[in-house]
Amino acid sequence: MYIDDFSSLKLWNCTNTQKPYCAQILGDMGAEVIKIEHPTRGDDTRAWGPPFAPYKDRRAGEGESAYYLSVNRNKKSVAVSFKEKDGARLIQTLAADVDVIVENYLPGTLKKYGLDYKTLSNVNPRLIYASITGYGQTGPYSSRAGFDVMVEAEMGLMHITGPRDGPPVKVGVAVTDLTTGLYAANSILAAIIERGQSGQGQSLDVCLSDCQVATLANMAQSVLVTGERDGGRYGTSHPSVVPYRAFRTKDGDVLIGGANDRLFGILAKCLGKAEWASDERFSSNSARVANREVLEKMIEDMTSSRPSQEWLDTFEGTGLAYAKINDIKDTLEHSHGTRSPWCNYMTCFTARALYSKLTPSLPFLLVVARDMIKQVQHPAYGKLKVLNSPVKYSRTQPSIRTPPPLLGEHTDEVLRDMLRLGEDEIKRLRENKVVGGESSTT
């Protein structure tokens, strides 16, 4: 099932790296997404491995990279070179009948091929054209290429990420790319709503640098309020809330969030130090921030005396915010995100208790409870597990209808069904290397 209002929405996606995340979100909602790729090499991320999901059929090569598979479901792949005149004309014809275009080329690049917003909107005035770049369509850096990590560095995020006394580090995923994709998807949805009122499309200038600055949030606002430089890196700590960080245990680490006076009081009791709550050094958050080093050492002296699981058991049911720090494999097998066949949402914690007593050799006993892992049938790999769309709707629900496509998997289908080209013309385009992908006639 998908969101019916989007089932007639046509979008073509001419992007590389994480920018396809935006189009994937819309595809999950039901939009028909046509991914335009280079005829021979395709999306750059197809080669961003290992790891690869290996081909299990006659195809040569290492397979599809996990990176590519993560952001390209619910799309049709059309392999066409717009640098060829015939290829540009194909895309121009296609653009006349689509609702949305998402592209991430440097400003001015697509104008050379007649694929810019001004040219295409003259033919299709209802077109919504989202350009995702590193630094935007205007400004002194507009001509500069920008990848996630460069923007993390340039726009402040890397400076505040990492251990207190260590070097700046990047976030573990391409978070700036991902948040930019989210902003772009939201902006496209807003433009669709506005188009319903005005009848007109518009261009959207979305860039990593703006989105990264916007997501600095409270950290940026603190600098705007004080006029002073930020406090640098705090590791897992919060610059304005104490205690709020990972504390060492006897065998690992536990994240604890005593984010207000009530929660700090609960933590103090759990640690067997109820008197801390009335200590004037710790009686308010501002006092705890002022005495951060003293309090955090006192807490860690306690937490380091017992194993992580004992602390998790102690904190359970108290109302305190806490968490074990899991690696990704443990996360994907987490009992909150999983359930056994005999348990429903209300009893998933019972299943967790049961699962914790079972042998570790059964890591895949549990299946998706919060529905965050799905299985699809990939044409060359077979059964493929992928992450699901995270929002749960009460009536309609985004869905994974198709796996990430092979390069040019839908070239013939789109040329034939959407552009009404005959088999002879498709064959000519393929022979002239204007389009790629396997022929549907072979």
Q: Over the stretch 331-341, which tens digit does the pLDDT of each residue have? A: 888 766 544 33
Q: 4-214+373-436 maps to which CATH number? A: 3.40.50.10540
Q: Which H or E run includes 14? A: strand 10-14
Summarize pLDDT for 136-161 with one digit per residue, the tens: 999 999 999 999 999 999 999 999 99
CA–CA distance, 400 with 378 (Å, rounded to integer): 12
Whether the bond between 54 and the residue before it is cis, its omega within 30 degrees of 0, is: no
The pLDDT score that the predictor gives to residue 361 is 32
User: CA of 86: how far to CAs of 11, 261, 267, 426, in Å?
Assistant: 21, 67, 68, 11
Res 336: pLDDT: 61
Domain ranges for the chain? 4-214+373-436, 338-368
- What H or E segment, with its residue span, contains residue 383? strand 382-387
Residues of the chain short of pLDDT 50, as ranges, are 1-4, 338-367
Q: How much is the pLDDT for 349?
A: 37
- Work out the angle at residue 250's Cα, subtended by the Cα atoms of residues 244 and 256, and round it to the nearest 5 degrees: 15
Active-site positions? 177
Q: What pLDDT, on the 0 to 100 scale, is given for residue 82?
A: 92
Residue from 263, 293, 265 nearest 279 by CA: 265
Instruction: Tell me the whole-structure pTM to 2 decimals.
Output: 0.86
pLDDT at 398: 86
CA–CA dist 420, 93 (Å, integer): 11
Whole-number Å distance between alpha carbons of 371 and 424: 45
